[in-house]
Amino acid sequence: MKRLLAEFLGTFALVFAGTGAIVINQVAGGAIGHAGIALTFGLIVLAMIYTFGDVSGAHFNPAVTVGFAVAKRFGWNEVPGYVVVQLAGAFAASGLLKFLFPASATLGATVPSGPVSQSFVLEVVLTALLMLVILSVSTGAKEKGVTAGIAIGAVIALEAMFAGPICGASMNPARSLAPAIVSGQLQHLWLYPVATILGALIAVPLCIGVRERGCCGGGC
């Protein structure tokens, strides 16, 4: 239960701070800016990894949890519980933002700004790179230690910085599903879960290809 609570709280914090920065930026007339939003996502993930990494592994992302399971670093029997509480944390955050900012039309939902295929490919690549970093700096299925928080937070901020204006740089099904459903932005609901999970799956053979034997199937 402690691990599930940690995943709930970490995902809640990620969505509340990250999508909250988008909502507040709109309300405040651009006071935070795109760079500020990207940094908010990176910094909140960094902080939550240091807060909960030794408890739950600090996944906060169904795609990451599935990626760890495919890499044989995490039991498949634990995946449903993690995914449920991650989604619950994300929906709780979006619900609170809806209460605080009822006039927000999107609540920070990820929406493609160009062709759907463009955003789909971007999300696949972004998530694959993120998952590759996570597999490389984590121990087993746990994102913990000095390097993990910095590396993972930095790559999230970096990817959000350059790709956010096009695809939203979700890399996380929970982060996309919750604000989209709560705000009623359902037109691209399938895109982000499918693309991000596919990207996480692609990262596993890439990790096996570049790292020592045992990277996936017993820990690096």
Rounded Cα gap, residues 195 and 63, in angstroms: 9
pLDDT given at position 55:
93
Architecture per CATH, 2-210: Up-down Bundle (1.20)
pLDDT given at position 219:
43
The tens digit of pLDDT for each residue in 30-85 reads: 999 999 999 999 999 999 999 999 899 999 999 999 999 999 999 999 999 999 99
CA distances (Å), 42 to each of 4, 17, 28, 81, in order?
Answer: 22, 10, 21, 25
Give the residue extent of every domain in the chain: 2-210
Contacts of 177 by beta carbon, 8 Å cutoff, 6+ apart: 87, 90, 189, 192, 193
Other Cβ atoms within 10 Å of 113 Cβ, number: 11
Whether the predicted pLDDT of 98 surpasses 50: yes
CB-CB contact of 4 with 81 (8 Å):
yes
- Mean pLDDT across the stretch 121-146? 87
Whether the predicted pLDDT of 214 surpasses 70: no
Model-wide pTM > 0.75: yes
The tens digit of pLDDT for each residue in 100-113 reads: 999 999 999 999 99
pLDDT given at position 215:
67
> What is the residue type of 171?
M
Rounded Cα gap, residues 129 and 149, in angstroms: 15
Nearest to 156 by CA among 22, 23, 14: 14
